[in-house]
Amino acid sequence: INEQIRVIMELANRIKNVVFGTFSSFFTQI
């Protein structure tokens, strides 16, 4: 179960990085 939690946390962190990247690039375009 700990392995599954680690994979979910890694996936969530990756999604957060992608969202933050697109969000910051959106602000630089303004």
Domain ranges of the chain: 1-30
For position 30, what pLDDT does the model report?
67
Tell me the whole-structure pTM to 2 decimals: 0.59
For position 29, what pLDDT does the model report?
83
Residue-wise DSSP of 1-30: -HHHHHHHHHHHHHHHHHHHHHHHHHHHH-
For 1-30, the pLDDT digits (tens) are 799 999 999 999 999 999 999 998 888 886
